[in-house]
């Protein structure tokens, strides 16, 4: 568990599958443009599969996914650390439940998880990748101190921006 001041980040648990499904479904209009797994037919089976896979990845040490809760216990989104960029980088990914957007929550969560990531052995930098059209995500990364280091055109023709923050 990570204490993020007004928020708490907790490793995902299987019993939150129903709430995860509700959170995703009510956020689909905002998630669909940027997250390929967020589709109109998203349902409980998708949440169960995700939670099983998140559990396995945590045990393997490749990905560390947390549910985000408010101080009063609302499940408002998800944030994770990913090792896929290489041994010295932690990549942060996230999404927020739409009714809770625009209140600074994701910036708070990113700052808290970044503080943890930079203390991990061998980590020299933390990264966030986002679509160039994703102004909200760009702003979260900027506010959390991440600056652009590269951009590339993906196979689908979109522009992906990488922002990074050094560990020290």
Ligand X SMILES: CC(C)(COP(=O)(O)OP(=O)(O)OC[C@H]1O[C@@H](n2cnc3c(N)ncnc32)[C@H](O)[C@@H]1OP(=O)(O)O)[C@@H](O)C(=O)NCCC(=O)NCCS
Q: Which is nearer to ligand X, 32 or 60 (CB)?
A: 32
| Residues composing the chain | 168
Strand-pair partners of 63: 82
In angstroms, what is the C-alpha Rg of the chain? Answer: 15
Shortest reach from residue 72's CB to ligand X, in Å: 16
| Residue 121: CB minimum distance to ligand X, A | 26
Q: Which residue is nearest to ligand X (CB)?
A: 136
- DSSP type of residue 22: H
**Shortest distance in whole angstroms from residue 120 CB to ligand X:** 21
Considering the complex, state which of residue 44 and residue 132 has its C-beta at the smaller distance from ligand X: 132
Q: How far is the CB of 74 from ligand X (least distance, A)?
A: 13
Give 54 or 60: the residue with its C-beta nearer to ligand X: 54
Enumerate long-range contacts of 29-32, CB under 8 Å, 24 or more apart: 29/98, 30/98, 30/101, 31/95
Please say which residue, 45 or 135, places its beta carbon nearer to ligand X: 135
Residues 6+ apart with CB under 8 A from 89: 83, 123, 124, 125, 126, 127, 164
d(CA 146, CA 152): 17
- Is the distance from CB of 114 to CB of 155 less than 8 angstroms? no
In the bound state with ligand X, the residue whose beta carbon lies nearer, of 101 and 118, is 101
Residues that bind ligand X (CB under 6 A): 30-31, 34-35, 94-96, 101-107, 130, 134-137, 139-140
The nearest distance, CB 153 to ligand X, in angstroms, is: 17
């Amino acid at each position: 568990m990570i204490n993020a001041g007004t928020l708490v980040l907790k490793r995902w648990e299987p019993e939150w599958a129903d709430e995860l499904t509700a959170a995703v479904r009510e956020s689909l209009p905002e998630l669909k443009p940027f997250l390929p797994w967020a589709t109109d037919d998203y349902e409980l089976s998708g949440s169960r599969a995700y939670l099983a896979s998140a559990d396995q990845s945590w045990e393997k040490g490749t990905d560390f996914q947390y549910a985000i809760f408010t101080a009063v216990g609302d499940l408002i989104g998800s944030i994770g650390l990913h090792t896929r960029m290489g041994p010295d980088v932690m990549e942060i990914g996230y999404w927020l439940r739409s009714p809770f957007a625009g209140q600074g929550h994701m910036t708070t969560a990113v700052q808290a998880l970044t503080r943890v990531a930079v203390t991990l052995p061998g980590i020299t930098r933390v990264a966030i990748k986002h679509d160039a059209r994703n102004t909200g995500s760009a702003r979260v990364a900027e506010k959390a101190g991440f600056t652009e280091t590269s951009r590339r055109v993906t196979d689908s023709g979109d522009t992906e921006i990488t922002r990074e923050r050094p560990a020290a």
